[in-house]
Amino acid sequence: MKSPSATPLTSSSLSPSTDRTLSILETLGDSPRGLSVAEMARGLSIPQNSVFRITTTLHERGYLHRREDDKRYLLSNKFFDLVRPKVNGKSLAVCSYEALQSLSESTSETVQLLVRSDDKGIVLEQVTGKHPVQVMGSIGLRVPLYSCAPGKAILASLPDQERNGWLSRVKLKKFTATTLATKKALDADRLKIVKQGYATDLSEGLDGIHCVAAPILNEYQYPIGAVTVMAPSFRLHPYQFESLGIECISTANIIRERLLS
């Protein structure tokens, strides 16, 4: 088996476990037929029990696929999911950042770019607002699609068959008193989102947080992400939703134009 050796650590600030994980992923990326735990351990000079723990974790998180016949590991399609937001070879995050900054400056609130990965949403980018008290998440955070404005904006824009498939797989539950946790409630909300062009979140994911969001559509009118303004409910009131919704729609259109140009 031809595979690179584990990268030697050159600084005490590096993480040995992270280094080993990346070495395993890089090796599997060069091994289209897959590798067993023993083969990876030998090829990378990593203890077999360490390889077992790392591959088990990656498998449980969906980043690796394990064949039943020979127990060899392969990279899963989840890695492609992480880099999927591109249009015409352009990065969604890169094309969005300037517009997100502009929206944050005009509202003084935190603005996020969210994309769909599997059946959840992932925060891909964030620009923090100017107020002393801000609502903030973290890049890479995974959230339920149905309990936040950007997730609902994406769901409302999906083709019927794909959205129904999502509904059949996801177990809906209430996170707050206002969470829309039934198909009937989400269907009614979808009609409103489609009509007005933006989605709202009245503390549906977390108490005390309101959000407004609009979907970013590609050339086929398919939602590749959503832009959202989020703020404490004491500062972002329902009467402000329409004006913020219009700003989110405008920002989403700017991002779309940059992707398609």
Model confidence at 6, pLDDT cuts 50, 70, 90, reads: low
The per-residue pLDDT for range 151-173, each reduced to its tens digit, is 999 999 999 999 999 999 999 99
- pLDDT bracket for residue 138 (50, 70, 90): confident
- pLDDT score, position 12: 61
What structural domains and CATH numbers belong to the chain?
A: 16-76 (1.10.10.10), 86-260 (3.30.450.40)
The pLDDT value recorded for residue 80 is 54
pLDDT value at residue 76: 78
pLDDT of residue 33: 82
Most confident of 1-15, 71-85, 218-232: 218-232
Residue 248: closest CA among 216, 217, 204: 216
Mean pLDDT of 134-158: 93
The DSSP string of 167-213 is: HHH-----SSTT---SHHHHHHHHHHHHHHS-EEEESSSSTTEEEEE
| DSSP output for 68-137 | TTT--EEE-THHHHHT--EETTEEHHHHHHHHHHHHHHHH-SEEEEEEEETTEEEEEEEE--SSSS----
pLDDT tens by residue, 19-51: 999 999 989 888 878 899 999 999 999 999 999
Tell me, yes or no, if the pTM score tops 0.75. no
* The pLDDT of residue 129 is above 90: yes
